[in-house]
Copies of this chain bind each other. A is one copy, B any other.
Amino acid sequence: MVWWRASSADIDVNPDLASERAAPSFCVESLTNLLDGSVEKTRVRRYVVSTILKDPVFSKENHYFKTRQERYEGAIRNSFHLKQKIKELGWREDGPEGEVIYRAMGGELALNIHGVFIKSILALGTDEQVAKWIPLANNCNILGTYAQTELGHVGKTCTHAVVLAHLIIKEKNYGMHPFIVQVRSLKDHSPMPGITVGDIGPKMCFEQIDNGFLMMRNICVPKENMLSRYSEVLPDGTYVKRGSDKINYFTMVAVRVSMLRAEVLEALMKACTISIRYSAVRRQSELKPGDREPKILEYQTQQQKLLPLLATCYAIHFTTCHVNKVYDEVYGAIQAGNFDSLPELHALVSGIKAYATEICSNGIEVCRKACGGHGYSLFSGLPSLYTKVTASCTYEGENTVLHLQAARFLIKCYAAARSGQSLPHSVAYLSSPISGACQASSHTHFLNPDVYIKAYQHRAYRLIDSAAFKMRNLVQSGMEQYAAWNSTSVELVKASIAHTHYIIVKLFADVLDSLSSFPEIQKVLKSLCDLHALHGIFTNSGDFLQDGHLSGKQLEMLTEAYLGLLSLIRRDAVLLVDAFDYADQQLLSALGSYDGNVYYNLLECAQKNPDNKKVNAVFENYLKPHLQSNISKL
């Protein structure tokens, strides 16, 4: 087995997949470089990934047969081994290797919340507290977690927790404050007196992670364990608040930015790779009477399921690149003491986090179902991609809550524009009057990014305007502000989705402009950009028709253009997922391997099933008496 394919010539590829790669319209390697950011970055990524995949400690052999306990132990083992390895090889977790390492490990790591513990102390502790706790935590002399009034983070591993608890001094409640509490003995790992702690039990996925519950009865915490960068209790019981904790708010944004590429988009890219390769190999039914069964990718309905998701991968990829850039700029400004752009960044990231997690998790299920019954087998790799990524719709900010936060910003900006103030870049369109009706008069006009960008902008503008209008009316008719907000919240969520969708479409089109020196890649990405945009209009057509921005006739033209793009992109579909450049050991899929030898892989996986090697106890205990009572009749 090769760890990285030098060329497809190394491998005995299924002819149905080989034929897809026979006449590429663009250079796959160049597209991979573009996705990575540069030739050098591709090189570094491959080096890191192959180094990790080659290490027998990290082997995922028999991954899908493992129990929860085995996954947990494996993740702990991986984490310590990785720490050692990173040190030896001189990699940097905050350097170019950082994100790649996490992606190459496929998330089979533990102690993630130990990182949150460390970040909390760095952000909320005084200099003395940082000096005391951080070296201990960095050396894993203590293992930390984070605890608030939710069953959630504590698990089976940790020894210490940052606990969010009410601070009450002389019967006055000062609200939630952070305290470091030791929860388990360092000697024998038993719970400290007064502490009840344990794992919360099985989840939909994340078997390798121990999430826990924690109960505390009559626990004394020394005063110096209250993290006191922003508020302190003096020896005489006086409460002192100081400084601004805006930076915490930024930490939350940082986590959302980093999860987008490494956890969310990653999963959809893998699902597209698996389902599109499989669709080029799997043959079924009859298209032309008398002909051989066609590849299922020839069916328009299969194209309609998978190709818009492929386009979405590219769209979200370029969006995350942009978000990272903006994030770095804002971070720079904040370090210079300027917090002005934080609200815009927060709103942008909130909308994109909610939008991307929803579309990627739903999309993976579409990919899975498009593989039929085989998609239901864990060996396909698809069920675990879904059950894992769907959690991201809830963690790091529940999606509806995030859309409403983004909408609050949009409504505020809309009002500011009405009163003549200038607006931040991403919402500047709310300052101009709403655009008029779409001018397209033929299906080819819808392949012009200006046309569809304007349509998306128009839709976002109208929905924001209409939500603001409704709220104003409700308040003027005597409803309280909070009730008017709640009564408009369905429409506010729609407005945030529309705004986010507009941003994503526009960013993709912007990228095309920068690719004039790669005309072949520009061409295929242009088609993907068109497909992503037109698919969005086709599936949300009411939003574009409602005020007549599009006419019914125009929607028919658009549909024609949209369906035409499906058969166009179908030709490059396998190459466009090849460009994501996953090694088979990253995909962990019997359906999605580079060589396309699906049925061989499936059977090989099934035969590894340890249950097949055991004697079936059920025979002795239940079946035998029945099966042997009437043998003479046979």
Interface residues of A in 99-150 (CB under 8 A from B): 132, 135-136, 139-143, 150
Q: Does A325 contact B (CB under 8 A)?
A: no
Chain A positions 601 through 623: 1 when the CB is less than 8 Å from some CB of chain B, otherwise 0: 01101111101100011110111
Bound Cα distance from A390 to B366, whole angstroms: 11
Interface status of A400 (Cβ within 8 A of chain B): yes
List CB contacts (< 8 Å) of A342-389 with chain B. Answer: 365, 369, 372-379, 383, 387
Interface set, chain A 272-311, CB cutoff 8 A to B: 285, 287-289, 298-302, 304-305
State whether the Cβ of A224 lies closer than 8 Å to any Cβ in chain B: no
Interfacial chain B residues near A80, Cβ < 8 Å = 622, 626
- Determine whether A213 belongs to the interface, using a CB cutoff of 8 Å to chain B: yes
* Interchain CA distance A188-B623 in the complex, whole Å: 10
Assess whether A628 is interfacial by the CB under 8 Å rule.
Answer: yes
> Which of B150, B201, B375, B486 interacts with A373 by CB under 8 Å?
B150
Q: Find chain B residues with CB under 8 A from A541 CB.
A: 541-543, 545-546
- What is the CA–CA distance of A545 and B550 in the complex, to the nearest angstrom? 11
Residue of B at shortest CB range from A79? Answer: B622
Q: Which residues of B contact A626 (CB under 8 A)?
A: 80, 139-141, 143
Contact B76–A199 (Cβ < 8 Å) = no
CB-defined contacts of A624 to chain B, threshold 8 Å: 189
Residues B378 and A482 in contact, CB atoms below 8 Å apart: no
In the assembled complex, the Cα of A602 lies from the Cα of B152 at a distance in Å of 12
Copy tally for this chain in the complex stands at: 2
What are the residues of chain B within 8 A of A135 when measuring CB–CB?
A: 633
> What 0/1 pattern do residues 475 to 510 of A give for CB contact below 8 A with B?
000001011001111110100000000000000000
Please provide the chain A residues from 373 to 430 with a CB less than 8 Å away from any CB of chain B in the complex. Answer: 373-379, 383, 387, 390-391, 393-395, 398-401, 404
Select from chain B the residue with minimum beta-carbon distance to A615: B189
Cross-interface CB contact of A203 among B383, B393, B480, cutoff 8 Å? B383
Measured CB to CB, the nearest residue on chain B to A200 is: B606
- Residue A332 is within 8 A (CB to CB) of chain B in the complex: no
Contact, CB under 8 Å: B394 / A634:
no
- Chain B nearest CB, measured from A488 CB (Å): 8
Q: Chain B contacts of A609 at CB under 8 A?
A: 198-201
Residues of chain B with a CB closer than 8 A to A480's CB: 288
Whether the Cβ atoms of B372 and A394 lie closer than 8 Å is: yes
Q: In the complex, which residues of chain B have a beta carbon less than 8 angstroms from the beta carbon of A374?
A: 151
Task: Say which residue of B65, B141, B143, B198 sits within 8 Å of A202 (CB atoms).
Answer: B65
Indicate whether A201 sits within 8 Å of B65 (C-beta atoms), given known contacts A375-B394, A394-B375, A617-B73: yes
Most chain B beta carbons < 10 A, residue from A400, A621, A624: A400
Contact in complex: A623, B143 (CB < 8 Å): yes
Cβ-based interface call for A173 (8 A): no
Q: Which residues of B sit under 8 angstroms from A603, Cβ to Cβ?
A: 151, 213
Which B residues are in CB contact (< 8 Å) with A629?
A: 139, 141
The 0/1 profile, CB within 8 Å of B marked 1, for residues 69-96 of chain A is 1001100110010000000000000000
Contacts of A379 in B (CB 8 A): 201-202
Residue pair A552, B563 in contact (C-beta under 8 Å): no
A200-B602 Cα distance, complex, nearest whole Å: 8
**A136-B633, A616-B156 known; A623 vs B189 contact (CB < 8 Å):** yes
Chain B residues near A616 (CB-CB < 8 A): 156-157, 189
A547 beta carbon closer than 8 Å to chain B? yes
Asked if A631 is at the interface (CB within 8 A of a chain B CB), the reply is: yes
On chain B, the residues within 8 Å of A65 by CB distance are 201-202
- The answer to whether B201 and A605 have CB atoms under 8 Å apart is yes
Across the interface, which residues of B come within 8 angstroms of A618, CB to CB?
A: 72-73, 76, 156-157
The residues in A between 17 and 58 inclusive whose CB is less than 8 angstroms from any CB of B are none
- Residue A258 lies at the interface, judged by CB distance under 8 Å to chain B: no
Query: Does A2 sit at the interface, judged by CB under 8 A?
Result: no
Give a binary string over A521-559; 1 marks a CB under 8 Å from any B CB, 0 the rest: 000000000000000000011111111100010010001
**Which one, B482, B552, B563, B611, contacts A487 given CB within 8 A?**
B563
How far is it, in angstroms, between the C-alpha of A25 and the C-alpha of B440 when the chains are bound? Answer: 53
Decide if A619 touches B189 in the complex (CB within 8 Å): yes
Complex Cα distance, B82 from A210, in Å, reads 37
CB–CB B387/A157 < 8 A: no
A373 and B395: CB pair below 8 A?
yes
A632 to chain B, nearest CB (A): 10
Pick from B141, B159, B542, B607: contact of A555, CB under 8 Å: B542
Residue A334 is within 8 A (CB to CB) of chain B in the complex: no
Are the C-beta atoms of A69 and B156 separated by less than 8 Å?
Answer: no
Question: In the complex, are the beta carbons of A373 and B152 less than 8 A apart?
Answer: yes
**CA of A64 to CA of B68, assembled, Å:** 12
| Given A136-B634, A213-B606, A376-B391: A611 in contact with B77 (beta carbons within 8 A) | no
The interface residues of chain B lying within 8 Å CB-to-CB of A203 are 376-378, 383
Point out the residue from B157, B301, B552, B602 that lies within 8 Å of A546, measured CB to CB.
Answer: B552
Q: Which residues of B contact A234 (CB under 8 A)?
A: none
A33 to chain B, nearest CB (A): 34
Could you tell me if B395 and A202 are in contact, using CB atoms closer than 8 angstroms?
A: no
User: Does A432 make an interface contact (CB < 8 A)?
Assistant: no
Does the CB pair B611–A69 fall under 8 Å?
yes
A555 CB contacts on chain B under 8 angstroms: 542, 546
CB of A186 within 8 A of chain B?
Answer: yes
User: Would A627 and B490 count as touching, CB distance under 8 A?
Assistant: no
Q: Are B73 and A199 in contact (CB under 8 A)?
A: no
Looking at the assembled complex, report how far the CB atom of A82 sits from the nearest CB atom of chain B, in whole angstroms: 12
Closest B residue to A382 by CB, please name it: B204
Q: Which of B142, B545, B634 interacts with A142 by CB under 8 Å?
A: B634
* Residue among A202, A299, A391 with the highest chain B CB neighbour number at 10 A: A202
What are 5 of the A-B contact pairs (CB < 8 Å)?
A299-B486, A300-B486, A301-B400, A365-B390, A376-B391
Q: A301-B404, A545-B552 are in contact. List 4 more A-B contacts (CB 8 A).
A: A139-B626, A141-B627, A203-B376, A287-B486
